[in-house]
């Protein structure tokens, strides 16, 4: 960089990534994800009653109109709930490893530009942040760009650095359509701008 910015072309990107709007989206198809959770259970809590959960799950499982794959999944959930409620006042550890070809993580670009402001926001515990968590905002923004599923982390609290891990089977296909030779310009922002200009003319 001291001599010429041309030298930057000799450096390969650390990871393949896409910038879409205010998000940095990085594919992680060649990497596994390890999830570790600690679940504190208490059958006496008003907000978490074992009997009520199990009754509702069995009601769903025995519903005659549900397809077999859903009832099978609900059966697995019942086994999981039985495990985590095995002892009162205990902490259950849950670990899971996964790897998918259609998996990505997304980080808002503001996390690199104004990290101090985001940290200050995450430390705030007022009712406004509880009703509209940062994860919910990220999720809605991401779903406005791509069809997504299997969102992680399962919680909505960020201590310092916001991120979201998701799966999207059609992300690559949608991105490739942006760069076809059928269109001179293809972008949501320009399309909206064109509509505004057409309305004003």
Per-residue pLDDT reduced to its tens digit, 41-99: 554 555 557 788 888 888 888 888 888 888 888 888 888 777 767 655 566 677 778 88
Cis? peptide before 153, omega within 30° of 0: yes
Give the dihedral of Cα atoms 25, 26, 31, 36; nearest 10 deg. Answer: -40
Domain endpoint, select from 53, 72, 98: 98
- Count of structural domains, the chain: 2
Residue 190 shares a structural domain with residue 91: no
Interatomic CA distance for residues 179 and 185, integer angstroms:
9
Residue 109 inside a domain? The answer is: yes
Residue 7 inside a domain? The answer is: no
In this prediction, residue 126 carries a pLDDT of 59
Interatomic CA distance for residues 180 and 192, integer angstroms:
20
Residue 178 shares a structural domain with residue 142: yes
Residue 3 inside a domain? The answer is: no
pTM summary value:
0.59
Residue 33 in contact with residue 103, Cβ under 8 Å?
yes
Residue 167 in contact with residue 149, Cβ under 8 Å?
yes
Q: What are phi and psi of 44, to 5 degrees?
A: -90, -5
């Amino acid at each position: 960089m001291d001599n010429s910015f041309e030298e930057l072309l000799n450096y390969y990107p650390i990871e393949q990534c896409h910038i879409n709007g205010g998000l940095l989206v990085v594919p992680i198809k060649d990497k596994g994800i390890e999830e570790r959770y600690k679940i504190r259970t208490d059958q006496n809590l008003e907000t978490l009653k074992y009997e009520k959960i199990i009754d509702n799950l069995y009601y769903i499982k025995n519903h005659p109109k549900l397809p077999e794959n859903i009832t099978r999944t609900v059966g697995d959930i019942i086994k999981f709930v039985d495990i985590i409620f095995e002892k009162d006042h205990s902490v259950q550890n849950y670990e899971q490893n996964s790897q998918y070809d259609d998996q990505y993580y997304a980080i808002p670009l503001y996390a690199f530009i104004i990290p101090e402001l985001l940290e200050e926001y995450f430390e705030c515990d007022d009712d406004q942040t509880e009703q509209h968590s940062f994860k919910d905002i990220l999720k809605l923004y991401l779903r406005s760009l791509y069809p997504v599923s299997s969102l992680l982390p399962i919680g909505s609290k960020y201590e310092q650095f916001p991120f979201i891990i998701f799966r999207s089977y059609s992300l690559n296909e949608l991105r490739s359509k942006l760069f076809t030779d059928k269109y001179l310009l293809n972008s949501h922002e320009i399309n909206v701008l064109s509509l505004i200009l057409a309305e004003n003319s």
